[in-house]
Every structure is written in structure tokens, then in C-alpha cells.
Chain A
Amino acid sequence: MIVPIQVEHPEQTLGKLLRSGVLISAAVVLAGAVWFLTRHGQEVPNYRTFHGQPPQLSSIAGVLRGAFSGHSRNFIQLGVLLMIFTPVARVGFSVALFAFERDRLYVILTLIVFATLLVSLFWQI
């Protein structure tokens, strides 16, 4: 008997990538929030006046450093970053897909988007 080989559509792979990104980041955020609220849930937060976030919560390097040294806010922010990077990863994956299809024009177009996203996320403008 010949077993038909299941060829997965690239669209479905993109879809799976997006869905797992959302679920993983939501899980990290939820874990961080439970951790934060069990310690600081009784405090009254102030969102009425804008102070901005400290450097350790407003840059990728800062968030990573804080998350791995055990700060619950940073851990939540790590989940938020994973959520931001989910569509970015989708674009990066599309570059590979177009390269696989030998579609030079779309490799270039997609690389422009990918590079712009990376510059805006890592580089403080």
C-alpha cells in the first residue's frame, strides 16, 4: 500500500508559527503576572501620570538581563517581547520560503521589511 505523503502548505506552516508564538508569549505573560501579583497585588498602581518605563524595561537587552536575574516585571515584559517578535519571526520565515521557491524579487522585498523591523526593535531611534 502506498501511503500518501502529507505535503504541508507553506501558508499552514506560517499559521502554526503565528499560533504557537501567541500561545507561548501568553503563557509567559500569565506566569509572570501571577508571580508579580502574588507579591505586589495589594499595592495601588498609578497609571494616571506618565513616567515612562525605567531602562531595564524599555530595551531588549535590559528586559533580558532583568528577566534572568529574577525580576517579575521583566519576566512579563519578556512575554510581551515574544509577542512583538511573533510577526517578525513570520516575516523572517517568509524570506526563507521565498528563497526556497527561488523568488528573488520577493526575497528582496521581504528582506526590506525584515531589516526595517529589526532595526526599529534593536536600535533606539
Chain B
Amino acid sequence: MNGLELTLCIFLVAGFAGVLGSLTGLGGGVVLTPALTLLFGVDLRYAIGATLISVIATSSGAASAFLKEGFSNIRIGMFLEIATTFGAIAGALLAAGISTSALAIILGCVLLYSAWSSTRNHHDAVQTADEDSLSLRLRLSSSYPTELGLEQYHVQHVRGGFAMMFGAGMISGLLGIGSGAFKVIAMDQIMRIPFKVSTTTSNFMIGVTAAASAGVYLHRGYIDPVLATPVMLGVTAGSFLGARWLPGAKTRVLRILFGLVVGALALEMIYSGLARRI
């Protein structure tokens, strides 16, 4: 394949990943790194660099829509971004010292977890304890729009959530993905923030987290402009289309199907890593 044909093929795959990623809420980035390495034989480091840029693009595009609807909590986002940016830089620095086979295995495991968590049904956590004193001082609690009007929520276990966010940032920096699934654990499971607020705020934070590790990857030469082009443009176009179709789509079936695709790619990544083919 020459450069033009390869660019068009990658654009189509990235567009498809972008549509499914936005319809299912998993993000297109999760399938792109394995698709680039397994289907197109791209070195894992170039694949990570290109995917990272597409993650920034989708997060920024989607965040602009969610901000308008009033779900995202900017204070929570800004406060937790301290943890994710430091985590992301640490992860990106760590990535240089790890073999690509080991990275492929870690990526496979993270993908398996993301696929599994996306097929679960979510119920908003019941608020058990009183508001955390740190949350009070940081004024993290807020309200969000529901069918019954504005609903108040308060934030718990701020320290635990902050620590988990450092971990989520580290995974994002290590593998060049958004690691939205781990950000949602920190906010939804630990800090007991309503699910809709957690997912939209996580999306808001993903771009900043990815930008923090992008510097390290840029300086290391992982970001090839010609490879990043179809990945970034494809995912962006795909996720804009996906967001437009979202209201009418049968997301339950799609989530399971996409979960299976991600799961299969994840197992193939783990196998290739163990066989040291990556």
C-alpha cells in the first residue's frame, strides 16, 4: 500500500471507531491503538502517539456539547486535573522504560476492563455519609439537571478519589488512551458523584490529561504527523456523526457488540505481547 491508500484505509477505520466510540461512550481511542498495530502493523509507539492526539480531539469536541447542558462540574474537574496531569506525565515517562510487549499486555488488560465496565448498567450511588470536609472547603458539591429539575449532590472521599485520579492519569499517560473508565470509578464509585456528572466531567478532563503526556511523547518523537492525520480526522468526524445519531440509537445492543470487539482486540494484544510479536 502506498501512503495515500494507507491514509484512506486508516481514515475509514478511525471514522468507524469514532462513531462506535461515541455511541457507546467508550471513546474511539480504545480500539485505535490495537487496530493500528494489529491490522496495519504500525509500531506500538507510533500508534500510541497518533491515538493520543485523537483522544484530545474527541474529548474537546464532546466536552463543548456537555458544558452547554450543564452536567459537567468544572470545580471538580479542575481540582482532579492536578492529579491526572501529574499522573499522566509520570506515566508517559515510565512508558519509555517499558518494553512494547509489556505495554501491549497492560493495554490489553485495561481494554478488557473498559469493555466489561461499559456493558454494566449504572445506578446512581446512594449517598451514605455526610459531605467530606475537604469537599466543603473546595466547594465541590453542586447540582445537575434531571427530569425532576435541578438535583443537589455532595461529594465524598475526596482524598481517595484524588489518589485514584493520579492512577487514571498514569494509565492514560502510559498507554496514550483517555482512561475514562478509571476516571469514572474515581468519581462515581469513590466520590459518589452522580453517574451523568461523573461521565461528562471525566470527558472534560480527558483532553487536559492527554495534553499533559502529549509533550513527553512529542519530545520523544512518537507523534508522526502523517500517521496522526487520518487517525485524528477520522475519529473526530466519526464522533461528530455518532453524537448526532445518539438519540435514536439502540445503545444497549451496540454497547455489547462494541464491548465484544474491544474484548477480542484486547485478547489479541495480550497474546501478541506474550508471544513477543509486538
Contact = CB atoms under 8 A, between A and B. Distances in A.
A45 B6 CA distance: 9
Interface stretch (B18-26, B66-74, B182-190, B244-252): B66-74
A60 to B, nearest CB: 8
B42 A26 contact: no
Given A36-B226, A113-B78, A116-B85, A121 B214 contact: yes
Contacts of B233: 26, 29-30, 33
B65 interface: yes
B208 A109 contact: no
A96 interface: no
A40 B3 contact: yes
Contacts of B40: 47
Contacts of B61: 18-19, 22
Contacts of B232: 26, 29, 80, 83
B43 A50 contact: yes
Interface in A34-49: 36-37, 40-45, 47-49
B166 interface: no
A99 interface: no
Interface string B45-79: 11000000100110111011101101010110011
Nearest to B218: A58
Contacts of B221: 51-54, 57-58
B33 to A, nearest CB: 13
A105 B42 contact: no
B59 to A, nearest CB: 7
B59 A113 contact: no
Interface residues of B, number: 61
A45 B70 CA distance: 45
Contacts of B35: none
A125 B43 contact: no
Interface in A89-113: 90-91, 94, 105-106, 109-110, 112-113
Contacts of A83: 53, 56-57, 60, 232
Contacts of B223: 53, 57-58, 77, 80
Interface residues of A, number: 64
Interface in B179-237: 207-208, 210-216, 218-230, 232-233, 236
B41 A47 contact: yes
Given A15-B68, A110-B78, A84 B43 contact: no
Contact of A41 (B2, B72, B93, B230): B2
A33 B229 contact: yes
Contacts of B215: 84, 117, 120-123, 125
Contact of A15 (B4, B65, B226, B236): B65
Contacts of B63: 15, 18
A76 B228 contact: yes
B78 A94 contact: yes
A33 B3 CA distance: 11
Interface in A56-80: 57-60, 73-74, 76-77, 80
A106 B229 CA distance: 36
B57 A105 contact: no
8 pairs of A and B residues whose beta carbons are closest in the complex: A52-B221, A41-B4, A87-B207, A53-B221, A76-B225, A120-B215, A15-B64, A121-B215
22 contacts: A18-B60, A18-B67, A22-B60, A29-B233, A37-B4, A43-B2, A44-B2, A44-B3, A45-B6, A47-B227, A49-B43, A58-B218, A59-B219, A76-B225, A80-B232, A84-B211, A87-B60, A87-B211, A121-B214, A121-B215, A121-B218, A125-B215
